[in-house]
Each structure stands twice: as structure tokens, then as C-alpha cells.
Amino acid sequence: MKNETQQIPAAENPEKFIGLKLGEPYKDAAGVKAVVVAGEYVFGQVPFARGMKALFILNQKLGYDCPGCAWPDPDGERSPIAEYCENGAKAIAEEATTKSLKPQFFVENAVADLAKLNDFHIGKEGRVAQPMYLPEGGTHYQPITWEGAFEKIASHLNKLESPNEAVFYTSGRTSNEAAYVYQLFTKEYGTNNLPDCSNMCHESTSFALAQTLGIGKGSVKLHDFYEAEVIVILGQNPGTNHPRMLTALQKGKANGAKIISVNPLHETGLLGFNNPQKVKGVLGVGSKLTDIFLQVKINGDLALVKAINRLLLEEEEAHPGTVFDHDFIRDNTAGYLDFISEVKKHDLDFLVDACGVSLDEIKEAANLLKHKSKIIVCWAMGITQHKNAVATINEMVNLLLIKGSIGKPGAGTCPTRGHSNVQGDRTVGIFDKPHEALLDQIKKVYGFEPPREHGYDVVKSIYAMHEGKAKVFFAMGGNFLSATPDTSFTAEALRKCNLTVHVSTKLNRSHLVHGKEALILPCLGRTDLDIHDGLTQFVSCENSTGVVQMSKGVLKPVSTDLLSEPVIVCRMAKATLGSRSKIDWDKFEKNYDHIRDDIEKVVNGFEDYNKRVRERGGFYLPNGCRERKWDTKNSKANFAVSELVVEKLADDELMMMTIRSHDQFNTTIYGLDDRYRGVYNERRVVFMNPADILRQGFEIGEVIDLYNHHDGRERVACGFIIVSYDIPERCVATYYPETNVLVPISCVADKSNQPSSKSIPVKLRRSSLFEEPIAFKVL
Ligand SMILES: Nc1nc2c(c(=O)[nH]1)N[C@H]1C(S)=C(S)[C@@H](COP(=O)(O)OP(=O)(O)OC[C@H]3O[C@@H](n4cnc5c(=O)[nH]c(N)nc54)[C@H](O)[C@@H]3O)O[C@H]1N2
Ligand SMILES: Nc1nc2c(c(=O)[nH]1)N[C@H]1C(S)=C(S)[C@@H](COP(=O)(O)OP(=O)(O)OC[C@H]3O[C@@H](n4cnc5c(=O)[nH]c(N)nc54)[C@H](O)[C@@H]3O)O[C@H]1N2
Ligand code: SF4
Ligand SMILES: [Mo]
């Protein structure tokens, strides 16, 4: 190696190697180790009493909602002491820290210097404690008053030639109350440019399910897992990303369910689980979870599900009436015959080749499914982030429809949501393509005409900023630069803006790659007490199963200069719209009950919102699928016919998926280990099949650059260490966000426009910076 401490030259994501350690991947998830790690994170970063207070109330019925994922809380039977997981605890530790960034920090550190820190270190600097402003041409952020900040935003917004020159991004931690006033403000201001993290997350799901089943959300409740006969989990790593799902899977298994897992990696959490809340788990006695593991090629799922559907059809034809639920199909669905002819189109050999799973294994899965009807299909980013994601989801829905597996106990769809309130944000109106019914209702309630023209989603926003069509970028949370595809292109786009504004709890890279002027507006987080005019306020969130619950913070905020997200929006609205506004923002700001009263008037399903949200455990939003009421154009559940197009790789190309490690929450890097996969102390690694390492003439530990050519542009991610791993041939895995530089902005899923960041063709070459393999330690 030329120089061990040499900076990797990826300007938007610098990182140095510190010493890779490799161990065996874990066989079971959680266990006592998870409890120990959770404790280390919380008490390593948060004073003891504060940490205890935060953990005690996490996910309890009158506490705050976990800022981690959107997995539901048990309806009736919460553990009185520990209704959270290791990664929930890490999320708390990250937010509840008492470290804060004083103005002196920004005096001492120029923006350009902060940008040289890696994401792990940026996050560890502490909470942002006062509004900060970067003037045009400035090198350092400097303090600004809240009034000053709102004046700057208002003056920029009011200067634009059209409201459509502004973009308002939302990340999925935003509460219902904040999201509602935010989208209301943008509509009164005059734009539907409301990109959100959902555009990169489950947009393919929302599109597919709305067309086929009439609602873009999943249909199952937590209890359905306990009654299911078969649970199919595709493209999801619950041990890391939805850890408490393992408890539900374990319970389902104890009641007789079988689990089929579909994944290019033998993810630990799919294989087994040591429940730390059970004596057996504490003693290290794990439960096996997966019964049939299908190690699919990256993006082989459409072919795989088509093959399963074809085998089920053959069985049905051989023994009519024994496999398909014809009553359900007749009474509820449309498009059955088209589906049958599509399924017959491809022979099994072709499908087997396209998915990379052997015919015997596919038959085993089909045999397990054929006489079962209580089937749940779960999926996440391994399905949604591909070009043909919508088609794959449609095919999974087809499987549920032939089996009559929707709208009854123990069966249905479970698109497992990521961010804790990403589903709620969409419910209350964060959408670049707002439904006409919502707009009509807004017009009726507030007396202004909201814009009807669709706005920009994430990808369209980046193009618009790049082309100079959008000039002000406002983010309600998140880390737009790092989360979006094509990092360098997105950086160029953000830098062209006149103003970039981030409402944020912590400093992140998006604050350091900024517009001509920039603002950071510090806000209260989920754990923080929100007291306003002597009244303690609370917000509410919707989980993956459509339960809306209150979330009330308990911790003393790190600074008196933080405002809550709803208050920030109200003040921005007042400053920008002034007397033009027909909305009483002061009322909303004073008491969020008024916001909830308005949500009730405008959005379906929130009757008695203020009363029901105060009930322990909250309430379920309506979901037509559960009652077999299909809110589609033809009022039927629709089979969808999707063509299978197999992507061909050039001889020296590999297909890359960008995945999460165990120690991160999206772009927030909690730590540098990926314990379950046996990788420690480094994130710049590339997981490769041993045969590919050999074929390409590399060796384990060698440092390579990943690159590709697309749209006439070479994209390079420099300096990744080769790790040998059990992954299908021609497939590689790297961590997000380090390799987002390689995801071309134009590579998106058909119909949903979601970046296809899990099927990116890449090539490998010896790194120009590192001539010799990195020495790594084997544990
Ligand atoms: N601790 C933690 N929790 C989180 C998050 C986090 O970053 N950290 N993020 C939250 C968010 S916003 C989200 S959206 C979720 C994400 O949750 P996941 O979707 O579980 O997250 P990913 O790491 O993107 O994992 C995708 C999984 O899909 C597999 N996969 C990739 N490509 C394919 C494919 O083509 N076919 C199949 N069958 N599998 C494939 C990968 O091997 C991996 O196991 O987690 C949420 N929870
Ligand atoms: N290549 C690749 N790219 C991906 C993905 C992938 O799998 N591969 N996954 C995609 C997915 S699923 C998602 S959801 C997106 C995530 O995209 P984002 O939601 O934009 O990113 P996050 O990393 O979740 O945002 C973290 C930041 O939010 C801020 N924050 C935390 N809590 C709060 C709060 O309470 N209020 C406010 N205002 N700010 C807060 C902090 O500053 C923190 O740095 O990334 C997407 N990008
Ligand atoms: S499973 Fe998700 S919501 Fe539950 S405690 Fe863990 S991170 Fe939080
Ligand atoms: Mo997500």
C-alpha cells in the first residue's frame, strides 16, 4: 500500500482503512450479545440515568415510538421492561447523546474540513444545538437567530419565479403532525414538489399494490404471523433491519408455520434467533427459523416466483380444485386467464436459469405452498430496488391471489417498512402525486386551490436542481446527498441551488455539500420532551401494519434553542406566506391537537383522532384488503401480467447490490462492524464469491476500485477490500452509502421511478491507490 493513512479520493465520502478483521458469520441473531451491545451503545454515549429513562419508555404504550424501523409493537402483550431491540437502542443512543455542537465548533471547523470526516465521525460530534447559517462564499457556518433563518427562507422562496422552483424533501422519521403541516404549507405555497425517502424505499411496492389491491400498504397485522401456515421472506434482512420481527417469526413457528427465505445471502437473522427475552435465548439455545432457503441470484426473484406459480398451476391442473382457491378468484379478482397464459409462457428450465435456484429447491418450496392457504409474503429493499421491482411484486401478489391468501387471518402482504413513520407521512399527504380526493378536501377545508400538477420525486428533483429548474432545496430530516443515487451528480445538483436548508437533529454530509447559501435548523427528536407554553406536546406515527400511535418524548433537550418540526414548519409558513395564508398556523403551533383535528377533517380514517390516539396502543387505519374491499378502478383485486426480461452482464461485469451493515441506520453509521456477517472494523469491503475472485485474478484482501460506464460517464468508487463470501457467482455486495456514487441517476425501476440501487452492473480493477493487499486479521 502506498500510504496507510491516505485519504480515499471520493470527495463525497472520504474514509481511511483502519484494519479489517474477519470472523465467521453468526448462525443465530440476537441473544445475550445483542443485549450487551445495546447497553454498550446506550451507556457509552448517554449518561446512565438519561439512558435508563430513554430505554424504559421506548415503545411502551404511552412512551415514544422507536426512531428505528417501522416494525409494529405487539397489540396486547408488551414486555414491561424491554420492548426494543439492539438496533432500537442504537438509534436512541445516537439521538439521546448529551454531546452538542456549540457555535465554537463551527468557528474552529471550516465546512471543507468537516467534509473530510467520514460519516461515522460526523455523526459522533453530537446534536446540532442552534440554527446555523452559511453565507454565500462563506467557509464556516455561523449562528443565526430563528427569526433570521425564517426570513432568509421566506425571502428566497418569495423571490422564485414559480413555486415549482422549490423542492421540499421529507425523511421518514417525520411525525404525522409535522408531515401534515409541511405538505399543507407546500400546497398553499403552490407546489407538489414533495420528494421523500419513500421514493427510494417502498415506492415500487406502493405502485404495485395500489394497482393490484387498491392500497399501497401491506395487509397483515402482527397477529397474522402467529396464525400463518407459511411465511415467505424475500429480499429482507430482518435480523439487522427489523430485529423484533424475529420474535414474531419465532412465535409463528412455534404455532406450526414454515418459513421460506429468498436471498442471495444466508442472512443470520433468517437462519436462527436467540430470543434474549426467553430463558432459552439467554442460555444461547436458538430457534431455527428458515425451513427452505432459496439462494437466489440478485434480481432473480421474478423468475423464481414465476417458476413457483407455474409449478402450482401444473399441480392444480393435475388435481383440479386442490391448489387454487377458485371461489376467491371468482368473487374477488380480475385478469386470471391472462395470468394463466403468462405463467405458461416460460418453460421451467429458462426460469431456473434466470433465478439461479435449482429446480429441486423450487419444487420443495412449491410443494410446501400447494396445500396451504394462510400464506404471508414479506419483502423489503432486496425486491423494491430493481428495474423490474414492480413486476416482481405483482408476481408475488399473483401467488397470494391464486391461493386466496389475502383478507383472512394468517395471510396477506407484508412490505416491511423502513423508517419509523414513512408510511404515516404518505398517509397524511407527503406525495409528489397527490390524490385528487385529498386536494379536493384541502380546498374544501381551507378555501384555497391547491396545485394539481404532479411534482418532482427524488430522482426528478435531482435532475431539476442539476438543470437549474429548482433553486431552493428544503429537507425535513434525512441525508439527501448520501441517500440518493449518483452521489457526485447529486452533489453537483445541490451545489447549484441558491439555498439549501436542513431541519436536522445531527450534522450530516448533506449539510457539508450545500447550495450557495445554507441553513441547518436544529430540531427536537423523538426522545425529546416537547413543552410549549407550559403544555407537553406529543406527536403520532403509523407503523408497518397501519397502527397510529402517540409518541411522547421524555428527555430534556440538549439545548433550549431547538424547535419541534411542526413549529418550524408553522413559523416558516407564517414568514413565507404572511397575510396571503388562509391557515391559522399559530393555532397549530400552540397545540398539536389542532393539527390532528385538521388531519381528521382532511384524511380518511382518522375519525376521533385526538381521542383514539390517546388510547393505549393507538388505533388501526382502515385497510380495504383486510375486508376484501378492493379500492381499484374495477373494484377487483387484479392479477397483473408482467414480462420477464433477463438482464445480461458482459463477461467482466458483476451485479452489485448495496446493502446495510448491522451497525448503521441508513446513512447514520453507528459503528464499523457487521457482526452477523463476520466483518469488523471496515465498511469499504466488497463481498465476492470465491470463484469470481479467482476468475478475475484477484485475491482476498486485495484493494480494488469498482467502476461502470453509463450515460457516457464513468463512475468510480475507489478503494474496496475484497472479502470472500457465500454469495451467488457474478453477484457482489457492498455497503450503502459508500457505493451510491456508482448508482447512475437514470437507473430506476419501471413505473415507480425508484432508484435500482440493488442491481448495478460493475467492473473491478486493481486500485490505483493501493498496490498490495491489505493485511487483515482472521478472528
Ligand atoms: N438497523 C437498521 N435498521 C433499519 C435500517 C438500517 O439501515 N439499519 N434501515 C431502515 C430502512 S429505511 C429500511 S427501508 C429497511 C431496509 O431493510 P432491508 O431491506 O432488510 O435492508 P437491506 O440491507 O437493504 O437488505 C436487503 C436484503 O435484500 C437482499 N437482497 C438484495 N438483492 C436481492 C435480490 O435481488 N433478491 C432477494 N431476494 N434479496 C436481495 C440482501 O441480501 C439483504 O439481505 O430497514 C430499516 N431498518
Ligand atoms: N444505494 C442505496 N441507497 C439507498 C438505499 C439502499 O438500500 N441502497 N436505501 C434507501 C432507503 S430505503 C431510504 S429510506 C433512504 C434514506 O434516506 P434518508 O431518510 O434521507 O436518510 P437517513 O440516513 O435515514 O437520514 C438520517 C439523517 O436524518 C436526520 N435525523 C435523524 N432524526 C431526525 C429527526 O427526528 N428529525 C429530523 N428533522 N432529522 C432527523 C439526521 O441528521 C440524520 O443524519 O436511503 C435510500 N438510499
Ligand atoms: S424492531 Fe425496529 S421499531 Fe422495534 S425496537 Fe427494533 S428498531 Fe425499534
Ligand atoms: Mo427505507
Which numbered ligand comes closest to the C-alpha of 241? 1
Name which of 389, 379, 385 is nearest 245 in CA terms: 379
Using alpha carbons, list the distances in angstroms from residue 684 to 566, 722, 739.
Answer: 38, 9, 9
Q: What is the pLDDT of residue 43?
A: 79
- Across the chain, mean pLDDT equals 93
The alpha carbon of 592 is separated from its chain's Cα centroid by a whole number of angstroms, namely 27
Band the pLDDT of 279: cuts 50, 70, 90.
low
pLDDT of the residue at 10: 47
Cβ–ligand 1 contact at 380 (below 6 Å): yes
Pocket test for ligand 2, best of 12, 125, 657, 666 (most atoms within 8 A of CB): 666
Angle at 680 between CA 676 and CA 686, to 5 degrees: 85
562 three-class SS:
coil
Q: Give the pLDDT score at 386.
A: 98
pLDDT over 70 (residue 31): yes
CA 240 to CA 69: how far, in whole Å?
Answer: 10
Per-residue pLDDT band for 33 (boundaries 50, 70, 90) equals confident
Residue 6: per-residue pLDDT: 34
Helices (H), 484-606: 487-495, 565-577, 585-590, 592-602
**64 C-alpha vs ligand 3 centroid, how far in Å?**
12
Nearest CA to ligand 2 atom 39: 477
- 708-737 per-residue burial string, b: 16 or more CB within 10 A, e: under 16: bebeeeebbbbbbbbbbbebbebbbbbbbb
Q: Decide: 239 in ligand 1 pocket, CB within 6 A.
A: no
pLDDT reported for residue 12: 52
- C-alpha cell at position 621: 387505519
Ligand 4 center from residue 197 Cα (angstroms) = 7
CB 249 within 8 A of CB 653: no
Q: How far apart are CA 176 and CA 160, in angstroms?
A: 28
pLDDT tier for residue 76 given thresholds of 50, 70 and 90: low
1: confidence class by pLDDT, cuts 50, 70, 90: very low
**For residue 509, which amino acid is it?**
R
Distance 669 CA to ligand 2 centre (A): 11
Contact at 8 Å (CB) between 230 and 261? Answer: no
Q: Is 566 in the pocket of ligand 2 (CB under 6 A)?
A: no
Percentage of residues of the chain with pLDDT beyond 90: 82
Q: Which pLDDT belongs to residue 79?
A: 54
User: What pLDDT does residue 8 have?
Assistant: 38
Q: Flag whether pLDDT at 14 surpasses 70.
A: no
Average pLDDT (385-408) is 98
What's the mean pLDDT in 328-353?
96
| For ligand 2, atom 18: residue with the closest CA | 478
Query: What are the C-alpha distances in Å from 116 to residues 28, 101, 513, 669, 775?
Result: 37, 17, 11, 15, 25
Does ligand 3 come within 6 angstroms of the Cβ of 85? yes
- Dump pLDDT digits (tens) for 166-222: 999 999 999 999 999 999 999 999 999 999 999 999 999 999 999 999 999 999 999
- Predicted pLDDT of residue 178: 98
So what's the pLDDT on residue 98? 92
pLDDT digits (tens, 9 = 90+) for 659-675: 999 999 999 999 999 99
- pLDDT on residue 29: 84
pLDDT at 285: 60
Q: Determine the average pLDDT of the residues in 601-626.
A: 96
Q: What is the pLDDT of residue 42?
A: 80
Query: Is the pLDDT score of 61 beyond 80?
Result: no
Banded pLDDT at 284 (limits 50, 70, 90): low
> Residue 499 above 90 pLDDT?
yes
Give, rounded to a whole angstrom, the gap between the first and last alpha carbons of the chain: 23
Region of poorest pLDDT, from 64-78, 186-200, 394-408, 654-668: 64-78
Strand pairing class (258-262; 230-234) = parallel
CA 43 / ligand 3 centre spacing (Å): 18
Say which residues have a Cβ less than 8 Å from residue 553's Cβ, sequence separation at least 6.
64, 524, 525, 526, 527, 528, 529, 530, 538
Task: Please give the residue that has the higher pLDDT: either 433 or 55.
Answer: 433
Predicted confidence (pLDDT) at residue 60 exceeds the cutoff of 70: no
Q: Name which residue sits closest to atom 35 of ligand 2, judged by CA.
A: 525
As a whole number of angstroms, the distance between CA 128 and CA 142 comes to: 12
236: Cβ below 6 Å to ligand 1?
Answer: yes
Q: What are phi and psi of 394, to 5 degrees?
A: -55, -40
Report yes or no: 623 and 413 within 8 Å, Cβ to Cβ. no
Report residue 415 as a C-alpha cell: 412490505
Average pLDDT over residues 418-437: 97
Residue tagged 469499504 (cell numbers):
684
Does ligand 1 have an atom closer than 6 angstroms to the CB of 677? no
Q: Which residue owns the Cα nearest ligand 2 atom 44?
A: 508
Verify whether ligand 2 is closer than 6 Å to residue 59 (CB atom): no
CB-based contact 673:34 (threshold 8 Å): no
Q: How far away, in angstroms, is 500 Cα from ligand 2 center?
A: 17
Q: What would the mean pLDDT of 461-479 be, rounded to a whole number?
A: 98
Cβ(245)–Cβ(277) below 8 Å: no
**Residue of the CA atom closest to atom 10 of ligand 1:** 418
**Alpha-carbon distances of 11 from 487, 488, 546, rounded to whole Å:** 10, 8, 40
Alpha carbon 750 to its chain centroid, in Å, reads: 19
Per-residue model confidence (pLDDT) at position 50: 81
pLDDT digits (tens, 9 = 90+) for 544-599: 999 999 999 999 999 999 999 999 999 999 999 999 999 999 999 999 999 999 99
Q: Are 508 and 200 in contact (CB under 8 A)?
A: no
Give percent of the chain above pLDDT 70.
95
Of ligand 1's listed atoms, the one at least distance from the Cα of 299 is 35
Of 159, 290, 281, 173, give the one whose Cα is nearest residue 234: 290
**Higher pLDDT residue, 416 or 774?**
416
Spatial neighbors of 290 by CB under 8 A, at least 6 apart, are: 259, 260, 261, 270, 271
Element (H, E) at 56: helix 48-57
Closest atom of ligand 3 relative to the 543 alpha carbon:
3
The answer on pLDDT for 298 being more than 60 is yes
**Is residue 747 scored above 90 in pLDDT?**
yes
Report how far residue 623's alpha carbon sits from residue 605's, in angstroms, rounded to the nearest whole number: 9
pLDDT in tens, 669-697: 999 999 999 999 999 999 999 999 999 99
Amino acid letter, residue 341: S
Q: Residue 269: CB within 6 Å of ligand 3?
A: no
pLDDT at residue 159 tops 60 = yes
Instruction: Tell me the backbone φ, ψ of residue 694, rounded to 5 degrees.
Output: -65, -50
Q: Is the CB of 426 under 6 A from ligand 2?
A: no
Beta carbons of 236 and 416 less than 8 angstroms apart: yes
The pLDDT value recorded for residue 118 is: 85
From CA 473, how far away is CA 642, in angstroms rounded? 37
Average pLDDT on 710-737 reads 95
Q: Is the pLDDT of residue 768 over 80?
A: no
**How far apart (Å, rounded) are the C-alpha atoms in residues 386 and 701?**
29
Judged against a pLDDT cut of 70, whether residue 758 lies above it is answered with yes
Is the CB of residue 87 below 6 angstroms from any atom belonging to ligand 3?
yes
Q: Is the pLDDT of residue 294 over 50?
A: yes
Q: Is the CB of 666 under 6 A from ligand 2?
A: yes
Confidence of residue 600 (pLDDT cuts 50, 70, 90): very high
CB atoms within 10 A of CB 554: 17
Residues 735 and 668 sit within 8 Å (Cβ to Cβ): no
Q: What is the rounded distance in angstroms from the CA atom of residue 277 to the CA atom of residue 32?
A: 9
Query: What's the grid cell of residue 695?
Result: 476468475
Domains of the chain and any CATH numbers = 4-25+654-778 (2.40.40.20), 95-201+421-606 (3.40.50.740), 203-415 (3.40.228.10)
Specify the range with the lowest mean pLDDT, choosing from 185-194, 202-211, 419-428, 641-650. 641-650
